[in-house]
Structure 1
Amino acid sequence: MTLLSVVVPTHNRADYAISCIAAVLGFDAPDLQLVMTDTSTDRRLYDMLHAEECAFLRDPRFVYRKIDEPSNLTKNHNDALALASGEYVCVIGDDDCITSAAIDAARWAVACQVPIVSQTVKATYAWPDFRSQLARGGHASRLYVPRRAGTARWRDGQSDLGAALARAFQATDGMPRCYHGIVRRDLLEQVRDRTGAYFHGSSPDMSGAVAMACLVDRYCEVDLPLTIPGVSGGSNSGRSAMNTHKGELSSETQTSGFEDRGWTAGVPRFFAVETVWAHAGLETLHRLDPERATGFNYARLLALCRIRHGEFDAAINQAEREASSIRGQAMEQDIKRAIQGERRARYRYLLRRALKPTAANGRRYFAKLETVLAAAHAYEQYATEKGFRFETVIQSIDR
C-alpha cells in the first residue's frame, strides 16, 4: 500500500525534473510513490526517461504521464494529483525534492491520525542559474540549512485562514499546506467533490493552502525540513527575485485562461505574484466558504501593487473601485495607511540586510552543489551529523 505520493507537475524543464526524479526515487522506501505529469512541448524529459540507460521508468514507485493536449499550471497540478494513490500527498515543484523526514512524518501522521503535517521551511536550494536583484548570483549552487532543529506544535486552520486573509493571501507561511507539506489525500478528494477540482485560480500552492484551512481545524507544524524547495532561474520564484515575474494576464498561460472566464473582482488585472496569490485564494474561498471572503484585506493587496507595480496604475485603479464597491465604502485612506506600513516594513528589512551585507545573511550553507540531487545528499548527511530526526522533533508536541 502506498503511504506517501510525491506529486510533481513539470513543463519544459527536463534538466531540473530529471534531478528531482533521481532525488525522490533515491529514498529506500517501498511505500513511497512519485507521480509526474509532463506537459512539455520539447519532449526532452520524455526522451531522457525512455533512453535505454535510464532505469527510472522501471521503478514501480514511479508514475509518469506525458500529456500532449494544451494545459496550464493549475490544470497540470490537478491532473498530477488525480494520479496519486498514496494515503498522504506532498506536492512539490520540478526543481525541488523531499527529505527523509517527509516519509517519517507521513508514517507518524498515519499512526496518530493527523490530517496534515506542515513545516516552517528552513532548507532551500538555489540552482546554478538563480539570480536575485539584491544578491545577484550570490545564492547560486548553494543549499541553505537550519543550524538547529526546532519543535512541533498544533495549529488551528480557521485561525490561520483569518490571519492569511488579513495578509491578503500574500504567501502561504503559517498555513496548512499541501505544497511542501504532508496532507491526507481524502481531504483533497473532499475539495474536488465539493468544487470540481483540487486547485482553483492561478496559484495551486495558495489554492491548496486555503482549501486545507477551510477543512481542517487542528494540524501539526514542525520546525524541520520535510522538503527542500529549489529556486531556479526560469521558475516563478526566480523571475520574482529579478522582478520580471509580471505582465498582462494574457501574456502568461498561468493566467490567460482565467482572464477569459472572468478575473476576481477587487484583484488588479495583471500578472504578478501578489495578484496571482490573491486571485487563487479568493477563487478557492468563494467555492468553499464564501462568507469568510469578506475578511480579505483589499487595502494591503492594492498597497503592495501600487508600491511594486506602478506601471499597472490603470488596472490598480479599476481594482480599487471594485474593492470599494465590495466593501461598500471608499478604500483610499485604508490604502494610504497600508502603503505607509509596507514601506516601513521594507525599510526595516533593508536595514537588517545592511547589518549583514552578504548573500547568506548569516545563514549556514553548503556551496558548489550543481543539482537538487546533490543538495538532497548534502542535506541528509548534514541532518545525520546534527541529529535532525522527525521522531525527536515530534516529541515536543502535546498529544
Structure 2
Amino acid sequence: MTDKKLISIIIPSRNRQKYAIHCIKSILAIDNHKLEVVVHDNSDTDELKQWIEKDIIDNRLIYRYDPTPMSTIHNFNKAMELVNAEYICFIGDDDGVTPEIVEAAEWAKVNNIDAIVEKTRIDYIWPNVNRTGEQSIYPFSGSIKSVDVNTELMKFLKDGGIYYLKYDLPKVYHGVVKKESFDKIKNITGSYFGGLSADIYASICLSLVVQKAIVIDYPLTIAGSSLESQQTHQTERAKKLPLQNAPHFRARGNYVWSDRVPFVYSGATIWAESSIKALEAFGRIDLINKVDKFKLAAHIILKSPHYEKTILNNFVNHEDKFKVKFKFYRVKISTQVKSIIQKIGNRIKRKLNGKAIIKYNNVLTIREAVDYSKNYMKSNDISLNKILSKVSNSN
C-alpha cells in the first residue's frame, strides 16, 4: 500500500456521471499531495470509468467500478474500504470541497481532534430547466469551539432522534473525521455503515466513539443540489410511496424495520430508523429508551400530515394519543416560533455585522462554485489559516 494520505474525500456514486465528472475534477484541481479522492461507482453503465481512463492521470484518485446491485449503504462501505488516509470526508457526487479542507485536517491532526463539525456550508444549485446555476455563501463568523458530544446526543434523542443536523454531532458527510474513529465503529459493529441513511447512522455511531470534537463556523464543503438529488423525498410521488417501495431498500436484503418507528415513508422516518439502528448496533438499548417517541411521532406528523391518522391508530396506544397530539401541537408551535425568531435574528445579525448572503448566478459547474468561493475569500482577506492562527495564539 502507498504512503498514507492526510485526508480522503470519498464519493460513493451512482448514475450521476455528469455531476461526478465535475466533482472529481474540482477536487483533483487542489494542488496538494496530502489529499486523495476515493470514488466507488455503482452506476448501471461504465460511462464514468471510461471518462476517467481517458482524461485523468493522477495517482491521488482511487476509482473502482462495480455494477453489482447494491444498496447505498453497501456503496458507502465499499468506498470506505478503499481509503488510505488519516482523516476522511464523505460528499455526494454533485458536491464539492474547498482547498482549505486539507489545512483543516492538518490542524486537526496537530491538535489530536477526532472530528470537525462544519457549522456553515456553501450551497450550490446545479443548472437545470428552471435554473441557470446558483451559488449562496452564507455569513459565517469563523468561530471555533469544543463540543460535548454526549450532551448533544442526549438533546438529539430527547427531541425524537430525527433531526441530527440541528445538533453539534460529529458528521462524516460534509464533515472531517479521523479514520481511526470509523475503525472503532467497524470493530464494534462489524461494518462502517448500517441502517438506511448512511450519514445519520454514521453520525450517531461516531457520537459513541469520538473523544474530541470541535465545531467550526467556516465553510469547508459545498453542498450541491441537482435535479436528480431532489427526487428521493421531495417530489409528491416520493412523499406518497409505500415504505416497502422506498429506494433505500434497493438491494438491502431482508431488512427488519424497528417497531419503535412508524411504518410509513418519509425522510423523517428513514432518519429515525437509522439512528435507532446505530444505537442497536452498539447494544445501547439504554439510549434507545431515551428517544422521546411522542416527539418522534409529532415530528413525522408535522412533516407528513397525511400520515397522522395512520400513526395515531397504529403506532401509539389509545391512551397515548393525547400525548402525541399535545406534543404535536407543542412541536408545531415551537418550530414555527423558533423559525420566525431565527429568521429575524439572522437578519438583525447580518445588519449589525454588515454581512449578507452572497449570491452568484450562472455558475455552471461545481468547479466554478469552488473558484467563486476562493475568490470571495481572497477579495475579503478571509482565510482559515488566519482563524486557526488566532486560536493557536490564544492557547
For residues 167-210 of structure 1, the C-alpha deviation after alignment (integer angstroms, 9 at most, x for no partner) is: 32213342111111110101101101110111111111101110
Tell me, in whole angstroms, the C-alpha distance in 1 between the residues paired with 2:237 and 2:145: 37
Q: Secondary structure at the match of 1:331?
A: helix
Partner of 1:294: 289
Structure 2 CA distance for partners of 1:127 and 1:171, relative to 1, 3 Å: farther
Q: Distance in 2 between matches of 1:257 and 1:386?
A: 48
The one-character-per-residue Cα deviations of 1:129-171 (angstroms, maximum 9, x if unpaired) are 39xxxxxx57x61111133442100001111111111232213
Whole-angstrom CA distance in 2 between matches of 1:128 and 1:28: 27
Q: Distance in 2 between matches of 1:114 and 1:353?
A: 32
Alignment match, 2:162? 169
1:44 matched to 2:47: yes
Unaligned runs of 5+ in 2: 347-355
> In the aligned structure 1, how far is the partner of 2:385 from the partner of 2:40?
32
Q: Secondary structure of 1:275's partner?
A: helix
Question: Is the 1:266–1:319 contact (alpha carbons within 8 Å) kept by the matching residues of 2?
Answer: no
Taking the TM superposition and a 5 Å limit, the aligned residue runs for 1:357-372 are 363-372=357-366
TM-score, with length taken from structure 1: 0.87
Does the CA-based 8 Å contact 2:70-2:252 persist in structure 1?
no
Match of 1:180 among 170, 174, 177: 174
- Does residue 339 (structure 1) correspond to residue 328 (structure 2)? The answer is yes
Alignment partners' CA distance in 1, 2:180 and 2:229: 30
Higher alpha-carbon deviation: 270-279 or 244-253: 244-253
Instruction: Name the CA shift for 1:67/1:186 in 2 (closer, same or farther; >3 Å).
Output: same
Q: Separation in 1 of the partners of 2:313 and 2:253?
A: 15
In 1, Cα distance between equivalents of 2:173 and 2:9: 10
- Alignment partners' CA distance in 1, 2:334 and 2:236: 18
Flag the 1:88–1:243 CA change in 2: closer, same or farther, 3 A: farther
Give matches, 1:236-385, under 5 Å: 236=230, 239-242=232-235, 245-246=238-239, 247-256=241-250, 260-288=254-282, 289-312=284-307, 315-317=310-312, 320-321=315-316, 330-345=319-334, 347-348=336-337, 349=339, 363-385=357-379
* Match in the other structure for 2:8: 5
Q: Deviations over 1:314-355 (max 9, x none)?
A: 65246623xx5xxxx953233112221333245444798799
Distance 1:256 1:382, change over 3 A: same
For 1:35-92, what per-residue CA distance to the aligned partner results, in whole angstroms no more than 9, with x for missing partners? 0001101332223223x3x12xx21000000012111111111110111110000011
Residue 231 of structure 1: how far off its partner (Å): 1.3
Any conservation in 2 of the 1:117–1:219 contact (CA below 8 Å)? yes
- Cα 1:385–1:267, aligned 2, differ >3 Å: closer, same or farther? same
Alignment partner of 2:270: what SS? Answer: helix
- 1:134 corresponds to: none
Q: Structure 1, residues 349-382: CA drift from partner, whole Å, max 9, x if none?
A: 47987999xxxxx622111111111111111111
CA RMSD of aligned residues (A): 2.7
Q: 1:159 maps to what in 2?
A: 151
Unaligned runs of 5+ in 1: 131-136, 357-361
Moved more, 345-354 or 377-386: 345-354
* Equivalent-residue separation in structure 1 for 2:314 and 2:35 (angstroms): 45
The verdict on how the C-alpha distance between 1:387 and 1:179 changes in structure 2, with shifts beyond 3 A counting, is same
Show the counterpart of 1:359. Answer: none
2: distance between equivalents of 1:221 and 1:366? 27
CA distance in 1, matches of 2:75, 2:264: 22
Residue pairs, 1:63-142, within 5 angstroms: 63-129=62-128, 137=130, 141-142=133-134
Which residue identity lines up with residue 370 of structure 2 in the other structure? A
The residue type equivalent to 2:144 in the other structure is: A
- Letter of the aligned partner of 1:94 in structure 2? D
CA distance in 2, matches of 1:78, 1:290: 25
- Which residue is 1:220 aligned to? 214
SS at match of 2:117: strand
CA distance 1:128–1:314, change in 2 (3 Å): same
Q: Tell me the residue number matched to 1:33.
A: 36
- Counterpart AA for 1:154: S
- Contact 1:222–1:393 under 8 Å retained in 2: no
Equivalent AA in structure 1 for residue 23 of structure 2: C
Residues of 2 paired with 1:270 and 1:164: CA distance? 21
Number of residues paired by the alignment?
A: 378
Q: State the alpha-carbon separation in 2 of the partners of residues 68 and 318 from structure 1.
A: 42
Hey, what does 2:138 align to over in structure 1?
146
Change (3 A) 1:259 1:341: farther
Give the Cα separation in 2 of the matches to 1:320 and 1:212. Answer: 29
Secondary structure (helix, strand or coil) at the match of 1:307 reads helix
- Structure 1 pair 129/242, CA: closer, same or farther in 2 (3 Å)? farther
Q: Greater shift after overlay, 385-394 or 104-113?
A: 385-394
What TM-score results when the alignment is normalised by the length of structure 2? Answer: 0.87
- Change beyond 3 A, Cα 1:27–1:307: same
Specify the code of the residue in structure 1 equivalent to 2:101: A
Query: Aligned with 1:229: secondary structure?
Result: strand
Q: Which runs of 4+ in 1 moved over 6 A?
A: 350-356
Q: Does 1:205 align with 2:199?
A: yes
CA-CA distance at 1:300 after TM superposition:
2.0
